[in-house]
Structure 1
């Protein structure tokens, strides 16, 4: 029996890539196991976004070294694989396959070569490809949300970001292929779909039939689909028709993740983001003017080379102007192959840590104030987990907020419950059920049972 074990690290794109890799392996006759000791093939799906990611990869590979005498084969895939390339073979000669995400469509051929005894197989030269990794064999590990990648790669070349160098140029799927996959997901019983891309709203339909906003609406109109989410947007391609589509289409979730990275135009210019603070705030004004209450979240980097006290203060005042419902804050760290690695990293680690603490403290205060608007609202919540130690059920609102609520009976994961919000906290809502759960379809229950046998670690 051909068996495999896979570990996945990084963003939701990586997690969904692993779902497609798992599906491809299963289609090629492999069986997934939950213990690396039982696997004939061990795959490590890597991420290069965080600091020292490549060091963590080699540390993990060193842990695998003890198993090389057991006849196991090893594969490193994903962003660090593309970034480090042949160096992986040099530092970990027991690795047999190194492949970046742009070459996943060639996995069946690479697996055949691996089985034939080849020991140094690479998929590292496809970053200029126009093709995407479309497959009918995705093993969906999420029990209640179906993911669809609609665009791969990135053309933005922000000064700090390694993604264009590891995932290649932007290339979109046709709207017909996206809608066909969405139909398949709906047929499995899923009621929520999340559209994915490094810059999801940079989507350009190769067939010219639909804009990104029109594609979202079309997915939201599929029978059985209750919610459509998307991540991650880039401000440069965030257009007014996206807000209009959310306003007009009840199935489109009223949540936009729009990474700003800095509130200072000077820093944005140094980051090569190619927009200004004022330009970004114009897009925020569109969402504030919408009829629906659109939740806004963002990513922010502090301590980018050259960031002055005034630049940092501009970021704090941006928080106050936008009133994000949450942010992901990071200290700047240089990444290989990026333009910023050649900049003098003039901000000390102590100052970076201090600024990140100030940023998070102010954002928490804003969330404490801003979440109060939900008190006494009734929100429809999708159930995502069982009861916690306080007897509350875990769910998520249309705005992607965590809702912990009480109810008489424990609803099934994937069902929907109307919940009245009785308490608000800076990062979550608490409420009580005011309706009976709308149970998931029999098809989704069957799919959940199948998913329970598929393991993707994150």
Structure 2
């Protein structure tokens, strides 16, 4: 747990310390920080890099922005009205401006909006995109010297972003490794190529070395990250993505390896073969389809058809292991018809996803689709989204029921004391809530064998069983 700054400094300041010592203690208060993170796992891992760097530079992380000398806002630009939400949040921080606090906006919205952030929120002192985090020590030194309007926005093509010397792994049970940054796909609706830059991959030996370090730190689960993780192209030309998966899965001490997010255009059969062959690779694939209509897919510039996508699904279904499948869906893309929506709904049924993340289309800055006439009213988008969610809920209810009576290994992620349950996750990435008979609850990151006794559309319920 983070420590309260007040609890740290008050005993010192109220003691008989000399006045000059008290001044030194109070001066150190400015080297405290609070970070708020929004977005995907890559943003969460970016924050781990930022936290590690700040702590190495002598900063103390606090759990309350009121106690922080530096407030950082790690932003995401994917969702609807991301910029407005950022500036709304910054406006909430504005009330602290008179307290001598410094403010930093980092991440995708920072890269997207650039120096316009200073114009809209002049009390912000630092704006940095994710590729510039390795330069944080220099930017912090400038900030401490009293400089304002500090930027780190021009490094989207660098591959040096992978070699981050200091990482504070804040997830107690999973270690993240970014293996590829950026995107070359330029889907019509997506802002990622403009905020993260072009695709550049990390050398396989560097990935494996970090996996070994993570295992040595006691982690048993690793998640490989990338905007298009399976577009990985080893610059040393030694390993395919599937081979890298197998290599990370073979690191001693690692029990589970996950990866996200895959792009259908780069999803190859050898990935499925690797999952079949290497038990530590989790039996779960997240393969965003976005639409079940070939016409809409073409308008989105996804560069595959419905049938092409379904061929990849057939590889997964033919695997020896029962591989869970999840996806992303966008409804209401400009030009989408009722038949297009029905094509998406029937795709859900044909695939039988275990979970779908569905969203209304919203125009994103700088993307090709922003020039299209968004002719579908918001109320229609809302209704269409509800159609997809209701269809998927029925599919999930039937899908999860297949686990009734099954015995599975579950990694402990937390405890629900109110319900008297332990919360965990299966290899298929499904939430499992279960009870134990032991008086001492199992530790976070440990594993338990659980028999499933009840199923719901979004979770499983069970009881821990002993394995002889």
Contact 1:105 1:133 in 2 (8 A): no
Contact 2:159 2:202 in 1 (8 A): no
Quote the offset at 1:388 in angstroms: 4.2
For 1:296, the equivalent position in structure 2 comes to 325
| Matched ranges for 1:255-270 at <5 A | 255-270=284-299
Contact 1:104 1:133 in 2 (8 A): no
For 2:150, the equivalent position in structure 1 comes to 121
| Matched ranges for 1:178-327 at <5 A | 178-327=207-356
Pick aligned residue for 2:458 from 427, 447, 458: 427
For 1:35, the equivalent position in structure 2 comes to 64
Contact 2:407 2:451 in 1 (8 A): yes
**If the length of structure 2 is used for normalisation, what is the TM-score?**
0.92
Q: What is the DSSP-based 3-state SS (H/G/I as helix, E as strand, rest coil) of the residue aligned with 1:297?
A: strand
For 2:81, the equivalent position in structure 1 comes to 52
Q: What is the DSSP-based 3-state SS (H/G/I as helix, E as strand, rest coil) of the residue aligned with 1:132?
A: helix
Q: What is the DSSP-based 3-state SS (H/G/I as helix, E as strand, rest coil) of the residue aligned with 2:259?
A: strand
Pick aligned residue for 2:401 from 351, 372, 375: 372
Contact 1:132 1:172 in 2 (8 A): no
Quote the offset at 1:123 in angstroms: 1.0
Partner Cα separation in structure 2 for residue 324 and residue 421 of structure 1: 20
For 1:416, the equivalent position in structure 2 comes to 447
For 1:390, the equivalent position in structure 2 comes to 419
Partner Cα separation in structure 2 for residue 219 and residue 235 of structure 1: 22
Summarize deviations over 1:199-242 as a string: whole Å, max 9, x none: 11111111111111111111111111000001110101111010
Moved beyond 6 Å, runs of 4+: none
Quote the offset at 1:393 in angstroms: 1.3
**If the length of structure 1 is used for normalisation, what is the TM-score?**
0.94
Partner Cα separation in structure 2 for residue 66 and residue 361 of structure 1: 43
Partner Cα separation in structure 2 for residue 185 and residue 130 of structure 1: 21
Contact 2:32 2:68 in 1 (8 A): yes
Q: What is the DSSP-based 3-state SS (H/G/I as helix, E as strand, rest coil) of the residue aligned with 1:310?
A: helix
Contact 1:417 1:436 in 2 (8 A): no
For 2:191, the equivalent position in structure 1 comes to 162
For structure 1, which segment, 351-360 or 26-35, has the greater mean C-alpha deviation from structure 2 after superposition?
26-35
Partner Cα separation in structure 2 for residue 129 and residue 142 of structure 1: 26
Structure with bigger gyration radius: 2
Summarize deviations over 1:69-117 as a string: whole Å, max 9, x none: 2221111100111111111111111111111112112111211221222
- Segments of structure 1 that go 5 or more residues without pairing to the other structure are 438-458
Indicate whether 1:91 and 2:123 are aligned.
no
Contact 1:256 1:296 in 2 (8 A): yes
For 2:410, the equivalent position in structure 1 comes to 381
Contact 1:132 1:173 in 2 (8 A): no
Provide the aligned C-alpha RMSD in A: 1.2
For 1:445, the equivalent position in structure 2 comes to none
